[in-house]
Amino acid sequence: MPVGLGPSSPTAHVWALRRMEAEIMERLYYSQSHTDDSALSTWDSEIRVRLAAWHQATRQSVSLSEKLEFAEIHYHMQRLRLSRPSPRRPVPLPEQQKECLAAAVAVLREFDVIARLGKLFYIWHAAHCVVEAGICLLAVAIEASTASSNTSITATSEVRTTEIMSVGDVPILTRHLKTFPGILWKIARRWPAIVHHAATLESLSTAVAERLQQWAAGTLTATTSTSSSPGTSAAAIKQKLKDMSLFSPFPMDAEAARRAQEELSRLQSLRGLGTVNSADSAADVNTAQTTVTDADITAPFDANWALPPLSPGQVLAFSSSATLVDGTVTAASTDDVLDWDFAGVGFEEIFAALIQANHGEGEDENTQGNQASELVS
DSSP string of 126-176, one letter each residue: HHHHHHHHHHHHHHHHHHHHH-GGG-EE-TTT--EE-SS-BGGGHHHHHHH
Q: Can you name the residues that pair with 330 across neighbouring β-strands?
A: 323
Q: State yes or no: pLDDT of 28 exceeds 80.
A: yes
Q: Are the beta carbons of 337 and 317 closer than 8 angstroms?
A: yes
Give CA separation, 272 vs 32, 199, 204, 268, in Å: 13, 49, 46, 6
Question: Phi and psi of 166, rounded to 5°?
Answer: -125, 175
Averaged confidence pLDDT in the chain: 73
Q: How far apart are CA 334 and CA 331, in angstroms?
A: 9
Give CA separation, 221 vs 214, 216, 248, 251, 314, in Å: 9, 12, 24, 20, 44
Q: State yes or no: pLDDT of 155 exceeds 50.
A: no
Strands 323-325 and 160-161: unpaired
More confident residue, 156 or 116: 116
CA torsion 282-285-286-287 (nearest 10°) is 120
Tens-digit pLDDT profile for residues 30-70: 877 666 788 999 999 999 999 999 999 888 887 777 778 88
Check residue 260 and give its pLDDT. 66
Q: Can you name the residues that pair with 323 across neighbouring β-strands?
A: 330
Q: How far apart are CA 72 and CA 105, in angstroms?
A: 12
Q: How far apart are CA 213 and CA 116, in angstroms?
A: 26
Q: Which of 4-8, 159-163, 243-247 has the lowest mean pLDDT?
A: 4-8
Question: Phi and psi of 161, rounded to 5°?
Answer: -140, 155
* Pick from 207, 239, 244, 240: nearest CA to 224: 207
Residue 323 DSSP symbol: E
Judged by phi (left if over 0) then psi (alpha if -120 to 50, else beta), residue 19 lies in alpha
Amino acid symbol at 173: L
Tens-digit pLDDT profile for residues 196-212: 999 999 999 999 999 99
Q: Are the beta carbons of 181 and 110 closer than 8 angstroms?
A: no
Question: pLDDT grade, residue 272 (50/70/90)?
Answer: low
* Pick from 348, 353, 342: nearest CA to 315: 342
